[in-house]
Amino acid sequence: MKKVVLSLVTAWTVFSAHVCAQAPTNALVSEPNEAMSQQAKSALQEKLSKIDGFSASFVQQVIDAEQQVIAEGEGRLSVTKPNKVHWHTTSPDETLIIANGETLWFYDPFIEQVSLYHFEQALANTPILLLSSNDDTLWQGYRVLQVESSFVIESLNEQSHVKALQLKFDKDELKQLLIFDATGQISEITLTMDSKASFNEAQYEFVIPDGTHIDDQRQ
């Protein structure tokens, strides 16, 4: 069970109903007005516009609605604009998410299956993909609230599995991601940036291994 919970939440829980919603901060108890949301959204977009890409190692904890740690993991995350993501969870079980701007692949080697999604299709339930884009139209399904040095991105879709994403910064450097899902679980992801990272375009393409079951969800 721990493998299932961790792999799905690590995969930003877009691929299953086992995904994360609890108000990220007490500030969300009061509804932000449109002007406040737009101001926060503009401030966050300006901060993200300074980041053309990054590579980082991460450690992750999955916390349930009773505030108990139910799983831990680690891996690497690389992002290059526009719309390219490489997310590799290495422990305790391996999963891989790759996006090249058109297709998003979610690969689970344990069950030898890869699921394919259109990038825009995945974005609808995966606000973390906003980190890889400067396209303002992609933000229309979300509202933003600023809480001190962090920003909370809330989905406007009541059916969304991922309810909110919180980004914590140290000045202009992204330090932590918190993903809140509809079950009350929180995935807390702490980043350690690699300042000497080199980016290889090949890492944003996925070659499907022989014998892998293909689940093509593109519509």
10 Å CB burial of residue 33 (0-12, 13-18, 19+) is exposed
Reported as a pLDDT band with limits 50, 70 and 90, residue 162 is: confident
Cα–Cα nearest to 78, from 65, 88, 64, 69? 88
If one looks up domain 2-195 in CATH, what number appears? 2.50.20.10
pLDDT at 204 over 90: yes
**What global pTM score does this model have?**
0.80
The domain spans of the chain are 2-195
pLDDT at 72 over 60: yes
CB 196 within 8 A of CB 56: no
Phi, psi (degrees; rounded to nearest 5) at 61: -125, 140
